Amino acid sequence: MTVSKTVEKAGDAKGRKEAPEVQGEALQLGELSEQLGYVLKRAQLKVFENFLRCMASLQLTPAQFSVLLLVDKNPGRNQTEIASTLGILRPNFVAMLDNLESRDLCTRIRSTNDRRSHILVLTDKGKAVLTRAKKLVATKHESRLNDLLGQANREALIVMLSKIANEF
């Protein structure tokens, strides 16, 4: 009982008792390892974790990166359009934009056509940060995926996940 759980290996310390109590061996995942939802969630957490590490120098979350990418690709759009495309609810998008704007990465511009809406644009700093972020993602993040899965498999994976996201 003085050996920590992480040190114990399957095979040693067969400490079974009369009751159905077991110790030491790694647990059997069983059908769990075949459950799409389970493995999908675990993979997503790992990928986000790695993304955050790669982006530590720029302090960008996956959600923030997606906003910068989308605003850059779609100039002249308002908050509602950007948010809804990303699956972010408008109320929750406000604090997110406050953050990006306070860091001078993005600006809200009151539309002249419709004075209710805010057109979103990246600042020069925002564009520069996005460029650096893309490089970090490509060299540190996505490249590891290629190393792990291979280029062809990585592309097949994206295709399948997109299909699930769009058609499931």
Partner DNA sequence: TATTGTTATACTCTATAACTATA
Partner DNA sequence: TATAGTTATAGAGTATAACAATA
Of 26, 20, 21, which Cα lies nearest the Cα of 8? 26
The greatest distance separating any two alpha carbons of the chain, rounded to the nearest whole angstrom, comes to 78
Q: Give me 127's structure tokens.
A: 């564009």
Tell me which of 4, 7, 113, 152 binds its own copies, using CB under 8 A.
113
Site for its own copies in 8-67 (CB under 8 A): 17, 19-22, 27-48, 50-51, 62, 66
69 lies in the site for its own copies, by CB under 8 A: yes
Calpha distance 19→149 (Å, rounded): 44
Nearer to DNA, 88 or 145 (CB): 88
Instruction: Quote the least distance from Cβ 92 to DNA, whole Å.
Output: 4
Residues in a beta bridge with 24? none
Tell me which of 26, 94, 138, 159 binds DNA, using CB under 7 A.
94
Calpha distance 97→63 (Å, rounded): 11
102 lies in the site for DNA, by CB under 7 A: no
115 lies in the site for DNA, by CB under 7 A: yes
Instruction: Quote the least distance from Cβ 87 to its own copies, whole Å.
Output: 7
Dihedral over alpha carbons 80, 81, 87, 91 (to 10 degrees): -10
Q: Taking CB within 5 to 8 Å according to partner kind, which of its own copies, DNA, none is near residue 58?
A: none
Q: Taking CB within 5 to 8 Å according to partner kind, which of DNA, its own copies, none is near residue 4?
A: DNA
116 lies in the site for DNA, by CB under 7 A: yes
Q: Taking CB within 5 to 8 Å according to partner kind, which of its own copies, DNA, none is near residue 145?
A: its own copies
Q: What are phi and psi of 61, to 5 degrees?
A: -85, 165
Calpha distance 165→157 (Å, rounded): 12
Calpha distance 22→14 (Å, rounded): 8
Residues lying near DNA in the complex (CB under 7 A) are found at 1-2, 4-5, 61, 63, 78-80, 88-94, 97, 108, 113-118
